[in-house]
Amino acid sequence: MSAPSGWQQRIAGEWVGRPSLFDADGTWRGYEDIRRSSVFEDGVTTYYMDGGLDGGGPLAGRFRLGAPFAFGVVDSDADRIYTGPDFHGSGQPYGSFVDAAYYGPGWQVGLNTWNQVLEDGDTQVYSSMLYQGPSVVGCFNGVYHRGLADDALAAHLAAETRNGPVPFILPTKQAGAYRGECSFWGADQQLAGPVDVSIALTPVDLLRTRLSVTWSGASELAFEVQWRRDGFRSFYEGPGAWGNAVAYGRANYNSLHVAGSAVRLTGREFVIDATPGMSAGSTLAVAYRVHAGMTLSGVVHGVLRWSPS
C-alpha cells in the first residue's frame, strides 16, 4: 500500500493514557501506564505499545510483561489484520470508531477492543474486554490523548488516576437527558447518516431510574425501561426493553433486547468526566452495535451531553 488508510491517518502519532484495570466482577485493580503509536513507514504499518502495570492484584502476574508490545498490521479501512507476533486478529473501522477482536499470546487472553476517536481528533476513548474462551477475565479502559504539552499531559494523567476507578452511576436525584448527534454506520462499514440520540432520565430512587431512549434519523428506535443498579451490575427491567450490564469503572457495558422485536443492542456508555464524589459526569461517549437477531445491522457512535430538566 502506497498511502495509509483513512483510519491509519486518523490514529497517527503517539497516544498517551493511564487506563485502569478491572477484574471480571468490575472491581478496580490498578493502572496501565501506556504510550501507543501506529506507524506507517515504507508501505508497512507497525503498532507499538510501551508501558507497565501499576498494581493489578491477582491479575498482575498475567498482565505485567517484561517487554514492549509490537505487531504488524495489514492496513485497510475494511479489515485491519493483526499479524503478530504480540497480537493476532483483526479490526473493522466504522468512521472514527474501530471494533477489534484478537488474541495476545503474552497476556494469554482474547481481546475485544473498542477505540472511539472523539470530535477534536486528539481524544480517544478506549476499552479492551479480556476473555478466556467465552468468560470475561477483566477489562482495561480509559481516555487517551495525543499532542499534549508537558503540563497538559501531566494534568491528563492526573485526571485518569483520579477518575479511572470511579464507578458508572446515573444521576439519582436530578432528572434530565444525555443528548447528541451520533452517526450510524452500516454493517458494510459505510456511513448511513446522522442519528439524534436522547437518553432521558427520571430518577425513581437511589438505585432505580426510568430511561426513555429515542433515536431518530438514519436509525429509528424508541423505548422506555426501568434501570436498576446493584453494585457494578445493572438491569433493564422493561417494559420497552430487557437486559443487563456490568460497569468497569466509568464504562457501562450493556446488552439490551427491545421488546416485541428482533432488535438487540450491545453497547458501551463511557462517562468521560466522572470524578470522585459526583453521581455522574456531563459527557457520555456512546457506542452501540445494532443487531437484527444474530446479524449485525450496523454501529452507532458519538458523544452525548447532559442537560438537567
The pTM of this model reads 0.96
The DSSP call for residue 158 is: H
Kindly list the structural domains of the chain, giving each domain's residue range(s) and its CATH number in brackets, ordered by start.
6-163 (2.40.128.20), 176-308 (2.40.128.20)
Q: How far is CA 270 from the centre of its chain?
A: 7
User: How large is the greatest C-alpha to C-alpha distance in the chain, in angstroms?
Assistant: 59
pLDDT at 41: 82
Q: Is the pLDDT of residue 248 over 90?
A: yes
CB 284 within 8 A of CB 271: yes
- 198: its cell numbers: 436522547
- Which 3-state string (H, E, C) describes 27-95? CEEEEEEEEEEEEEECCEEEEEEEEEEEECHHHHHHHCCCCCEEEEEECCCCCEEEEEECCEEEEEEEC
**pLDDT-based confidence at residue 279 (cuts at 50, 70, 90):** low
Length of the chain (residues): 309
Q: What percent of the chain has pLDDT over 70?
A: 99
Average pLDDT over the chain, rounded to an integer: 95
Mean pLDDT of 259-270: 98
**pLDDT-based confidence at residue 227 (cuts at 50, 70, 90):** very high
pLDDT tens for residues 91-124? 999 999 999 999 999 999 999 999 999 999 999 9
